[in-house]
Amino acid sequence: MLEGMAVKHSVHTEEPQTPTNIFRLVRIARNVRVKDLAEHLRVTPAYINAIEKGTSTPSCRLVRDYAEALNVDESIFYRYGEEFDNCTRFEEMMLKLLKVICA
């Protein structure tokens, strides 16, 4: 897991736009900056942003590496639709995600 990379994030109260927002939620929950994650994964910050916006789809290998870097089970990224479809607010999604990854 990336350690010592803490950064404050502003919390937005927007509804998620795409299922790939789970990548963003996990990164925020782990308090990791895009720049630090990109460096760790050896990709560009722009690519991480594209994944988090849903304009790019990561390979299975990158999903595995992403999960490893953020110390979560990679299945969280695949179960996203099942687990979070009923959430309507950012805060609700984050709380549910934290319950899943901290269990």
| Residue ranges per structural domain of the chain | 21-101
- pTM of the predicted protein model: 0.68
CB 56 within 8 A of CB 24: no
pLDDT confidence of residue 1: 58
CB 98 within 8 A of CB 70: no
Of 9, 59, 11, give the one whose Cα is nearest residue 32.
9
Task: Extract the tokens encoding 73.
Answer: 């089970």
pLDDT confidence of residue 95: 77
The CATH superfamily assigned to 21-101 is: lambda repressor-like DNA-binding domains (1.10.260.40)
Other C-beta atoms closer than 10 Å to the C-beta of 25 total 22
CB 65 within 8 A of CB 41: yes
DSSP 9: -
Q: Profile the chain (103 residues) by mean pLDDT over runs of 10 residues.
A: 49 42 86 96 96 90 94 83 62 74 71
